[in-house]
Amino acid sequence: MSQTPFVTVFAIYPNLTQLDFTGPHQVLSRLPGATTIVASRDGGEIEAEGGLVIGRTRKLSEIERCDLICVPGGSAATETALDEEFVAEVRRLALGAKYITSVCTGSLILGAAGLLQGKRAACHWAWRGLLTEFGAIPDPARVVRDGNIFTGGGVTAGIDFAFTMLAEIAGEGYAKALTLGLEYAPAPPYGCGRPELADDDTLRRVSGNMDKVMAQRIAEAKEAGARLSRYAVSP
């Protein structure tokens, strides 16, 4: 008798950051004997930031269960945290999963689903403070584990997160082999990928762009956080 496959579900939504999804997907889809499902609220096509269209997604409501759920981030993360249908499906699947995971601002959606109360979690540096709206404890680490919850920081941290998950599930040797197979050896031309590493001018420029949407994101996070009373406790 064959073993039940390990099921990974990526829960995606319009205007997600595609690398938050495609980076981890490239790694986690290589889990031995695994089934990887890409799903959305309504199924069908999802347009990511930059216009990339992800096709043939399944409807979240049609997926019975999964072993790992991953929610990527994106410019619409706090808006999506107010999508009650999407959040409810994420919560349903997460409560039955062995691993609950996210990348970047996807952790804000996990928070809106009542899954991070009292838990340490990572997020993109610019929006990390919004985790407190959901009773979570912001953690600046690139990959954070708290029990069965694994969260990655901003965008490219999703690949590090995925290799961490791969080692957890399939073993360190397998994770190392795939690291070599994918030639994962980051060597960025500019070492300013975190605020503490960036020069003042670069930090001001990026922070200024973030400030343009900060008020809206804070308002959406506060509204989503106010809805948490529907959940008694997180798992």
Active site residue 192: no
Decide: 153 and 124 in contact? Cβ < 8 Å: yes
Decide: 104 and 126 in contact? Cβ < 8 Å: no
Strand blocks (E) in the chain: 6-11, 34-40, 44-47, 53-59, 68-71, 99-103, 120-121, 137-138, 143-146, 149-152
Q: Amino acid letter at 224?
A: A
What are the two backbone dihedrals, phi and then psi, of residue 54, each rounded to the nearest 5 degrees? -100, 120
Catalytic residue among 66, 70, 104, 123: 104
Query: CA gyration radius for the chain?
Result: 17
How far is residue 117 CA from its own chain's centroid? 16
Where in the sequence numbering do the catalytic residues fall?
A: 104
